[in-house]
Amino acid sequence: MTTHDVVRGDWRPELSRSVLLRHDRVRDVDLLVLPERVVVLRGAAGSIVALCDGDRDVVAIVAELARRHPDAPVAAEVPVFLEQLRAEGWLR
């Protein structure tokens, strides 16, 4: 699947085993900690990744984010973002 494919709504994304989500309080940014690498998450990316717990499916994640941010285009953007993270190997 590429980022241009439609993400299945029943996929229950969760962090890959070697990936940790952390918050850097000094810099006030969320981080993905990977083996030998750290990725800084900007904007709402950290709150999106935090919802990827393996319990919620993509539909539930989009619904929760739409509730929190009613004016944001979450239905269009969040599935694409999640697929990009899966393509990187950071979500499974």
**Is the CB of residue 89 less than 8 Å from the CB of residue 43?**
no
Q: Is residue 2 part of a domain?
A: no
* pTM flag (> 0.75): yes
Q: Is residue 3 part of a domain?
A: no
Q: Is residue 82 part of a domain?
A: yes
Q: Is residue 44 part of a domain?
A: yes
Please state the rounded mean pLDDT for residues 60-89.
97
pLDDT value, residue 4: 44
Q: What is the mean pLDDT of the chain?
A: 94
| Distance (Å, whole) CA 74 – CA 61 | 9
| Distance (Å, whole) CA 74 – CA 56 | 16
Give how many domains the chain has, as a whole number.
Answer: 1
| Domain encompassing residue 32 | 20-87
Q: Is residue 14 part of a domain?
A: no
Q: Is residue 1 part of a domain?
A: no
Share of the chain above pLDDT 90, in %: 90
Q: Is residue 11 part of a domain?
A: no
